[in-house]
Amino acid sequence: MSSPSLSEDSSTRLHFAVFAAGFLTFVNMWCTQAILPVLAAAFHVAQARTGLTVTAPLMATAMMAPVIGAISDRFGRKKLICGAAFLLLIPTLLAAQAASLDALVVDRFIQGLTLPFIFTVTVAYIGDETSGAQTARLAGTYTSGAILGGFCGRFSAGLVTEAYGWREAFWLIAAISLVLAVLLFFALPAERRFKPVYGLRGALHSFPLHLSNQRLLATYAVGFGVLFSLVAVFTFINFRLAVAPYFLGPAALGGIFVVYLGGVVMTPVGARLSIKFGRRRVMAVAGPVIIAGLALTLLAPMGVIECGLLLASAAIFVQQTLATAFVGMAARGAKSTAVGLYVTAYYIGGSAGGFVPGWLWHGFGWPGCVAVVCAVQVGMLALVLRFWVDEKG
């Protein structure tokens, strides 16, 4: 049974709320990525260690992802989304007062525990309460909010850190989060079609089904590689550009993330290309494009580096679009838990991308980071060509 149509006013409110949920999640998730060199200097630690402030919320998100669906199925959608949005303020404010890097990492981890209650449950809410073209439009609204939030979190944190300091950047993120939490509370309609489901047994029983599915396991590995690549590139490029001959400050480093906005364009483009040419063919092009873009970042001119980052990030967003869509095709049943496991693999990959290249950074610098990302891309392509077989091409 399709859901009844929303009035124009209710539809507008819902779009605002869904956009706010995406923006709120990722303005917090990525806010330290542009200020890592400043954090290293402030806490007198090795630069690579500050990547833990990126890794911590990703790891917490990965831990929560498999059970979020079952929790929201039991307790409802809006109360979890709004409750998590307000609870998020506590660790964000604590982060602004952190006395050590370890304390900041703990605060970031706690942030990560609340974030999936916002973005995962919002996606479930959209699926429950809407249908057809309205669902597609809201999914697009959510994706746009997420991408713009990720950019604004990095860019605003960089601007404020350069002008006032990194603690003030967290105060700004907290203020933005409060405004968005209030907006969510008033704009998000209460769910109309929600029916509580009790118990975790069904979700747990589906795990062996998914973990014995080779195509699904390959897709989880691809998801791991997607966020590994994205986090590794945009974490460690900061350290390269913060020193000679570039000496970029936090504001300029935050501005580098404008290339992320290419994801708004490439997400629908990737979907259309896969329909026309097949997923494997598009992935077979995306991987080499990423490697070519990373090769450009090894050169000296700043403009060439920015072009390389744009190429790499745009192609990674194409990979993300294709891998996410393929989960539903590869799963033999219990698709919600299949998606939950994919999200777990995805964020574990992001966590690894924040610290694994650090082992190479001190010995080999940026070329070492590029090498490990290229190796991951080659592995992803091998898996796609071997296991993504039930399509044309």
Per-residue pLDDT tens digits for 9-67: 678 899 999 999 999 999 999 999 999 999 999 999 999 999 999 999 999 999 987 77
All domains of the chain, ordered by start, with CATH? Answer: 10-190 (1.20.1250.20), 203-393 (1.20.1250.20)
Residue 6 in this model has a pLDDT that exceeds 60:
no
Cβ atoms of residues 105 and 56 within 8 Å? yes
Contacts of 382 (CB under 8 A, 6+ apart): none
- Confidence at residue 3, expressed as pLDDT on a 0 to 100 scale: 47
Record the tokens describing residue 276, joined without a space.
């026309």
Complete DSSP assignment for 210-265: HHT-HHHHHHHHHHHHHHHHHHHHHHHHHHHHTSTTT---HHHHHHHGGGGGHHHH
Q: What is the mean pLDDT of residues 318-344?
A: 79
Residue 115 in this model has a pLDDT that exceeds 90:
yes
Higher pLDDT, 7 or 371: 371
Per-residue pLDDT tens digits for 335-363: 667 777 888 899 999 999 998 999 999 89
pTM: 0.86
65 by DSSP, 3-state: which? Answer: helix
Helix 201-211 to helix 214-241 angle (10° resolution) is 90
Complete DSSP assignment for 194-212: ------SHHHHHHHHHHHT
CA 40/CA 53 separation, integer angstroms? 11
Cα distances (Å, whole numbers) of residue 37 to 41, 237, 276, 354: 6, 11, 43, 14
Q: What is the mean pLDDT of residues 174-181?
A: 98
CA 364/CA 174 separation, integer angstroms? 37
Record the tokens describing residue 392, joined without a space.
């044309």
Residue with tokens 């296991």: 387
